Copies of this chain bind each other. A is one copy, B any other.
């Protein structure tokens, strides 16, 4: 599948912890906690996670999926946010509630990932690179909010 024969190894840096009814936390492993320095100066973080529940599926072969929010019309996986895709890397922009660098705990408002989901990376949300004024979207999405709603959104809550 890869013309260069190369592939890369990624390892989790933490995991999602979301006890029922309790706060949602990105729990960062001890070895990586120093990397949180200064994250508390931002309001939002982009959480990169691995859609582990699909890890045993033949996910690299799934290229087109039905869109449940668009009458099951089909789209390529590079044209939607399906967790089934050649690499199971998912991102969610999350409002942060608190950052505890010493404990490795980043409390967030919402995320569309299950308890125990492996976390691969965190990046601060930068308007200069991440906020697009004039984004045009598929007709399938017209009528959706123009902004991330307060409290975030879980496209796949309970399904990720």
Contact = CB atoms under 8 A, between A and B. Distances in A.
Contact of A127 (B31, B48, B137, B139): B137
Interface string A106-125: 00000000000010111111
> In the complex, which of the residues A48, A75, A155 has the most CB atoms of chain B within 10 Å of its own CB atom?
A75
A29 B3 contact: yes
Interface string A80-96: 11000111110111000
A102 interface: no
Interface residues of A, number: 82
B120 A144 contact: no
A135 interface: yes
Nearest to A65: B35
Interface string A13-39: 100000000000000110110111111
Number of copies: 2
A160 interface: no
A121 B36 contact: no
A132 B118 contact: no
A96 to B, nearest CB: 10
Given A35-B78, A78-B122, A146-B131, A41 B1 contact: no
> In the complex, which of the residues A36, A38, A153 has the most CB atoms of chain B within 10 Å of its own CB atom?
A38
Contacts of A126: 81, 137, 141, 144
